């Protein structure tokens, strides 16, 4: 069994570049010549540094499968995608400049002036945090941050995934507010454990009899232990999981179901590898991500 369970109608495990979600705050994305691009690193560091695009290429690119998710993704939403990113480890760069005592944040700035505050511990704890140059083996598409963007597993994009990044200031959360935190969103933004039903579609009519329920689940930095499905408030039944290369990607799941004629409600929940069960408590996306079990209704006939 592979990562993609190949269930008809299910979103693919690998999200094609053309289908990867976008959240834009500018009318048009910046067009940057990679030969003129640079990243200035300053602030609470021992040594300031300026990196060029060629500098990053010369360091060599590491590939990492990472799912990234938007904090405004509702329960069951599609503002999430999974791909292989190629880039330079952020930790190595921060080790090189030397972080001074008291610093706890990295304030990154995009070419278009957008700002983002990222916890330094998420950039230095060994996870695959990257300055990414490629996406699915190709140079970053312009709408996704060409020539260079940040990708940090385990954090929502608004506190980690700066596109067209040109400036890093090592600093303290107490000393700044970034673009979205100024607007009431949480400061640190860890991704919450969630699961989603892709098949069947909510509100659809299906044939009575044998069928399948399938979707995806994610618990970054921990991983998914199991996914369970309940029909019409009945017992939770464990689904089959796809194989994944690490704990930072979503995992596909599927389960057989024999549908009786009539209307049905299907719910899903995930359990992470630390044994924590996804909460059923409903919460809105503001201020730090939605929670709750994804539930759909279908009619079998």
Average pLDDT over residues 44-52: 98
Residues 6+ apart with CB under 8 A from 84: 14, 63, 64, 65, 66, 135, 136, 137
Average pLDDT over residues 190-218: 97
pLDDT band at 1 (very low <50, low <70, confident <90, very high): low
| Average pLDDT score, the chain | 97
Tell me the CATH number of domain 194-300, given options 3.40.50.2000, 3.30.230.10, 2.70.170.10, 2.60.40.650. Answer: 2.60.40.650
pLDDT band at 141 (very low <50, low <70, confident <90, very high): very high
Average pLDDT over residues 142-156: 97
Tell me the CATH number of domain 17-183, given options 3.90.420.10, 3.90.230.10, 3.30.700.30, 3.40.50.1000. Answer: 3.90.420.10
pTM of the shown model: 0.94
Q: Using one digit for the tens of pLDDT, what is the confidence trace for 223-254?
A: 999 999 999 999 999 999 999 999 999 999 99
pLDDT band at 26 (very low <50, low <70, confident <90, very high): confident
């Amino acid at each position: 069994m592979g990562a993609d369970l190949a269930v008809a109608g299910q979103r693919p495990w690998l999200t094609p570049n053309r289908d990867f979600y976008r959240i834009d705050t500018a009318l048009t994305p910046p067009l940057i010549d990679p030969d003129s691009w640079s990243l200035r690193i300053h602030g609470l560091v021992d040594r300031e540094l300026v990196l060029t695009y060629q500098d990053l290429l010369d360091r060599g690119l590491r590939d990492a499968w990472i799912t990234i998710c938007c904090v405004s993704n509702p329960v069951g939403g599609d503002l999430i995608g999974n791909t292989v990113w190629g880039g330079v480890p952020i930790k190595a760069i921060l080790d090189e400049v030397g972080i001074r005592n008291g610093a706890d944040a990295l304030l990154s700035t995009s070419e278009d002036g957008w700002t983002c505050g990222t916890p330094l511990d998420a950039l230095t704890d060994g996870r695959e945090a990257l300055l990414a140059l490629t996406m699915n083996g190709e140079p970053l598409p312009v709408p996704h941050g060409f020539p260079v963007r940040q990708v940090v597993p385990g954090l929502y994009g608004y506190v980690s995934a700066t596109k067209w990044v040109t400036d890093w200031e090592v600093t303290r959360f107490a000393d700044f507010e970034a673009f979205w935190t100024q607007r009431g969103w949480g400061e640190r933004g860890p991704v919450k454990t969630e699961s989603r039903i892709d098949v069947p579609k909510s509100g659809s009519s299906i044939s009575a009899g044998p069928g399948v329920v399938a979707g995806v689940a994610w618990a970054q930095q921990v991983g998914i232990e199991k996914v369970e499905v309940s029909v019409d408030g009945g017992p939770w039944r464990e689904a089959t999981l796809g194989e994944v290369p690490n704990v930072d990607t979503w995992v596909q799941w599927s389960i057989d179901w024999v549908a009786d004629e009539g209307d049905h409600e299907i719910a899903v929940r995930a359990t992470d590898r630390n044994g924590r069960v996804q909460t059923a408590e409903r919460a809105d996306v503001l201020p730090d991500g939605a929670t709750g079990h994804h539930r759909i209704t279908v009619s079998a006939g």
